[in-house]
A and B are shown apart, each in its own frame.
Chain A
Amino acid sequence: MTPPAAPERSPLRPVTGLWYLLVLLSALALGFGLYAYSIQLERGDIATGLRNPGNGGAAWGFYIVFYVYFVGVSFAGITVASLARLFHIETLKPVTRLAELLTIVALIVGALMVLADLGRPLDGLQKLPMLARPSSPFYGTFTLVVSGYLFSSLVFFILAARRDAATMARTGPRLLRPLYRLWASGFREEGVAHARHWRTSYWLALTILPLLVIAHSTLGFIFGIQSGRPGWFSALQAPAFVVLAGVSGTGMLILFALLARSIFRIRDLVPEAAIRWLGTFLWVLAAVYLYFIIVEELTSTYAAPRADRTIAHEVVEGTFSTSFWVAVGCLFGAFLIPFVMYLRKGGSLGWLAVAALLANVAAVVKRLLIVVPSQTHGGLLRMRQGVYTPTWVEAGVVIGGAGMLGLAILVFGRYFPLVPSHVTDEQRHTPVPRDPLRSIVSLVWLFGSLALIIFGLGDSFRLWSHGELDPRVPFSPAIFATGVILLFSTAIVYEAFPARRRTPPARVAKPPPRATLRRKAMPPRVDVRAQFRSSRDRRIRRTS
Chain B
Amino acid sequence: MSDPKRRSLLKAGVAALGAAVLGKQTEDRAEAGHGHHRSGPPGKADHAHPRWGMVIDLDRCTLCSSCTTACRQENNVPSVGPDDDHRGALIEWIGILWQEPEQPGALPTGMPFPCQHCADAPCVKVCPVGATFKSPDGITMQIWDRCIGCRYCMVACPYGRRSFNWEEPEWSGTQVQMLNPDVATRPGGVVEKCTFCHHRIRRLREDAAVEGRELRDEELQRLPACAAACPAEAITFGDLHDPESKVATQARDPRRFQLLDYLGTDPSVIYLKRDRR
Q: Does A239 contact B (CB under 8 A)?
A: no
Q: Which residues of B contact A118 (CB under 8 A)?
A: 148-150, 189
User: Knowing A120-B149, A228-B122, A375-B155 touch, does A139 contact B21 (C-beta < 8 A)?
Assistant: no
Q: How far is the CB of A388 from chain B (nearest CB, A)?
A: 9
Q: Does B275 contact A (CB under 8 A)?
A: no
Q: Does B179 contact A (CB under 8 A)?
A: no
**CA of A127 to CA of B129, assembled, Å:** 7
Q: Which residues of B contact A379 (CB under 8 A)?
A: 160
Q: Select the residue from A55, A127, A386 with max chain B CB neighbours within 10 A.
A: A55
| A123 in contact with B159 (CB, 8 Å) | no
| A120 in contact with B189 (CB, 8 Å) | yes
Q: Select the residue from B100, B147, B166, B188 with max chain A CB neighbours within 10 A.
A: B166
Q: Which residues of A contact B158 (CB under 8 A)?
A: 227-229, 380-381
| A383 in contact with B160 (CB, 8 Å) | yes
Contact with A along B187-204 (1 / 0, CB 8 A): 111110000000000000
* Contacts of A53-75 to chain B: CB distance below 8 A: 53-57, 59-60
| A463 in contact with B6 (CB, 8 Å) | yes
Q: Which residues of B contact A114 (CB under 8 A)?
A: 150
Q: Which residue of B lies closest to A135 (CB)?
A: B125
User: Knowing A136-B125, A380-B260, A461-B25 touch, does A51 contact B87 (C-beta < 8 A)?
Assistant: yes
Q: Which residue of A lies closest to B162 (CB)?
A: A52
| B6 in contact with A119 (CB, 8 Å) | no
Contact with A along B149-181 (1 / 0, CB 8 A): 111101111111111111110000000000000
Q: Which residues of B contact A142 (CB under 8 A)?
A: 128
| A119 in contact with B146 (CB, 8 Å) | no
Contact of A226 among B28, B133, B155, B164 (CB under 8 A): B155
**CA of A228 to CA of B124, assembled, Å:** 13
Contact with A along B103-130 (1 / 0, CB 8 A): 0000000000000000000100111111
User: Knowing A46-B85, A127-B146, A469-B133 touch, does A52 contact B163 (C-beta < 8 A)?
Assistant: yes
Q: Which residues of A contact B99 (CB under 8 A)?
A: 382
Q: Which residue of B lies closest to A137 (CB)?
A: B126
Q: Which residues of B contact A54 (CB under 8 A)?
A: 159-161
Interface magnitude class on chain B: 35 or more
Q: Does B210 contact A (CB under 8 A)?
A: no
Q: Which residues of A contact B189 (CB under 8 A)?
A: 44-45, 118-120
| B129 in contact with A227 (CB, 8 Å) | no
Q: Which residue of A lies closest to B160 (CB)?
A: A54
User: Knowing A52-B164, A131-B146 touch, does A457 contact B155 (C-beta < 8 A)?
Assistant: no
Q: Which residues of A contact B164 (CB under 8 A)?
A: 45, 52, 59, 119
Q: Does A117 contact B (CB under 8 A)?
A: yes
Q: Does A9 contact B (CB under 8 A)?
A: no
Q: Which residues of B contact A57 (CB under 8 A)?
A: 87-89
| A46 in contact with B167 (CB, 8 Å) | yes
| A229 in contact with B156 (CB, 8 Å) | yes
User: Knowing A46-B86, A59-B151, A131-B146 touch, does A119 contact B24 (C-beta < 8 A)?
Assistant: no
Contact of A119 among B100, B129, B148, B155 (CB under 8 A): B148
**CA of A135 to CA of B123, assembled, Å:** 11
User: Knowing A386-B88, A469-B133 touch, does A463 contact B149 (C-beta < 8 A)?
Assistant: no
User: Knowing A133-B130, A381-B97 touch, does A226 contact B122 (C-beta < 8 A)?
Assistant: yes
User: Knowing A458-B20, A470-B130 touch, does A123 contact B148 (C-beta < 8 A)?
Assistant: yes
Contact of B21 among A124, A138, A229, A463 (CB under 8 A): A463
**CA of A142 to CA of B259, assembled, Å:** 34
Q: Which residues of B contact A51 (CB under 8 A)?
A: 87-89, 166
User: Knowing A119-B188, A120-B190 touch, does A461 contact B150 (C-beta < 8 A)?
Assistant: no
User: Knowing A228-B156, A375-B155, A381-B159 touch, does A56 contact B87 (C-beta < 8 A)?
Assistant: yes
Q: Which residues of A contact B129 (CB under 8 A)?
A: 127-128, 131-133
Q: Which residues of A contact B166 (CB under 8 A)?
A: 44-46, 50-51
Contact with B along A355-379 (1 / 0, CB 8 A): 0000000000000000000010001
Q: Which residues of A contact B147 (CB under 8 A)?
A: 119-120, 123
| A128 in contact with B128 (CB, 8 Å) | yes
Q: Select the residue from A51, A142, A386 with max chain B CB neighbours within 10 A.
A: A51
**CA of A142 to CA of B152, assembled, Å:** 14
**CA of A54 to CA of B264, assembled, Å:** 20
Q: Does B90 contact A (CB under 8 A)?
A: yes
Q: Does A511 contact B (CB under 8 A)?
A: no
Q: Does B48 contact A (CB under 8 A)?
A: no
| A133 in contact with B128 (CB, 8 Å) | yes
Q: Which residues of B contact A121 (CB under 8 A)?
A: 148
Q: Which residues of A contact B167 (CB under 8 A)?
A: 43-46
Q: Which residues of A contact B149 (CB under 8 A)?
A: 45, 118-120, 123-124
Q: How far is the CB of A318 from chain B (nearest CB, A)?
A: 19
User: Knowing A46-B166, A53-B160, A59-B151 touch, does A457 contact B128 (C-beta < 8 A)?
Assistant: no
Q: Does B31 contact A (CB under 8 A)?
A: yes
Q: Which residue of A lies closest to B169 (CB)?
A: A44
Q: Does A467 contact B (CB under 8 A)?
A: yes
**CA of A463 to CA of B149, assembled, Å:** 26
Q: Which residues of A contact B133 (CB under 8 A)?
A: 469
Q: Does B14 contact A (CB under 8 A)?
A: yes
Q: Does B263 contact A (CB under 8 A)?
A: yes
**CA of A124 to CA of B187, assembled, Å:** 15
**CA of A43 to CA of B81, assembled, Å:** 14
| A46 in contact with B128 (CB, 8 Å) | no
Q: Select the residue from B17, B130, B264 with max chain A CB neighbours within 10 A.
A: B130
Q: Which residue of A lies closest to B164 (CB)?
A: A52
**CA of A510 to CA of B85, assembled, Å:** 83
Q: How far is the CB of B224 from chain A (nearest CB, A)?
A: 22
Q: Does B215 contact A (CB under 8 A)?
A: no
| B155 in contact with A381 (CB, 8 Å) | no
16 A-B pairs (CB sep. < 8 Å):
A44-B166, A45-B149, A52-B91, A114-B150, A119-B148, A121-B148, A127-B148, A133-B128, A133-B129, A135-B25, A135-B126, A138-B128, A222-B152, A383-B97, A463-B20, A467-B31
Chain B: residues with CB nearer than 8 A to chain A?
1, 6, 10, 14, 17, 20-21, 24-25, 28, 31, 85-92, 97, 99-100, 122, 125-130, 133, 146-152, 154-168, 187-191, 259-260, 263-265
- Besides A46-B89, A380-B158, A463-B21, 16 more A-B contacts (Cβ < 8 Å) are A44-B166, A44-B189, A54-B161, A59-B164, A114-B150, A118-B149, A119-B150, A127-B146, A133-B129, A135-B125, A136-B127, A226-B126, A381-B97, A386-B88, A458-B10, A469-B130
Chain A: residues with CB nearer than 8 A to chain B?
43-46, 50-57, 59-60, 114, 117-121, 123-124, 127-128, 131-139, 142, 222, 226-229, 375, 379-383, 386, 454, 457-458, 461-463, 467, 469-470
Q: Which 10 A-B pairs have the closest CB atoms?
A: A119-B149, A54-B160, A228-B158, A51-B88, A119-B189, A44-B167, A57-B88, A138-B128, A56-B88, A124-B148
